[in-house]
Amino acid sequence: MDNRYSFLGGKRGPWRVARLDGLRGAGLEAVERLQIVQGEWAESASEAAWVLRGLTSNVRYATRPEVDALRERQPALARPEARCAALIPIKKSARWWELAQDERRAIFEETSHHTAIGMEFLPAVARRLHHCRDIGEPFDFLTWFEYAPEHTHAFEDLLDRLRVTREWDFVEREVDIRLEHI
């Protein structure tokens, strides 16, 4: 399966932009709609105001028990009831990338409990992580989440808990884009 995804912000697409907040670092231009294209990279020459590209990839930090637990509880994307979504592009600092893999894992999980916290919100929230640090993109990750409207508050709680962790000390750019399926 082709693991390339392009996110086009503009006037077209099945996702209506309800909010677009630049939280850290430079924001992104406000747009009305979002379209996601899988496969061939979408060209920025289209009428989109911006195009963000990322690839799904292998896990970096999850241990075998975590991978198994996630597989058991993680819901699929595109559930009909999950009419809300969030696209949260994130860039981490040079300080993060200078760390060794074991040091990053320790901050990510043993100190910040990213997976443990996230697991509490399954199966309400479905997710897909895209990597883009090595393909010359402005962000390191494009994080994508889908949930039903009644889980909006739970999703806010999840963000509140993750954003106060040590891991987030290394986040230097973050834009929070909330979407509703049309």
In the complex, the residues that contact ligand HEM under the rule CB under 6 A are 59-62, 70, 88, 90, 92, 114-115, 118-119, 121-122, 125, 127, 129, 141, 143, 145, 158-159, 162
Minimum distance from CB of 43 to ligand HEM (Å)?
Answer: 26
Minimum distance from CB of 33 to ligand HEM (Å)?
Answer: 22
Residue nearest to ligand HEM (CB): 118
Minimum distance from CB of 140 to ligand HEM (Å)?
Answer: 7
Minimum distance from CB of 51 to ligand HEM (Å)?
Answer: 19
Look at residues 124, 143, 120 and name the one whose alpha carbon lies nearest to residue 69.
120
CB of 127 closer than 8 Å to CB of 51: no
Q: What gap in Å lies between CA 83 and CA 105, rounded to an integer? A: 33
Q: 8 or 104: whose CB is closer to ligand HEM?
A: 104
List, in order, residues 6 or more apart from 180 with CB less than 8 Å away.
15, 16, 18, 83, 84, 85
Look at residues 94, 88, 81, 91 and name the one whose alpha carbon lies nearest to residue 142.
88
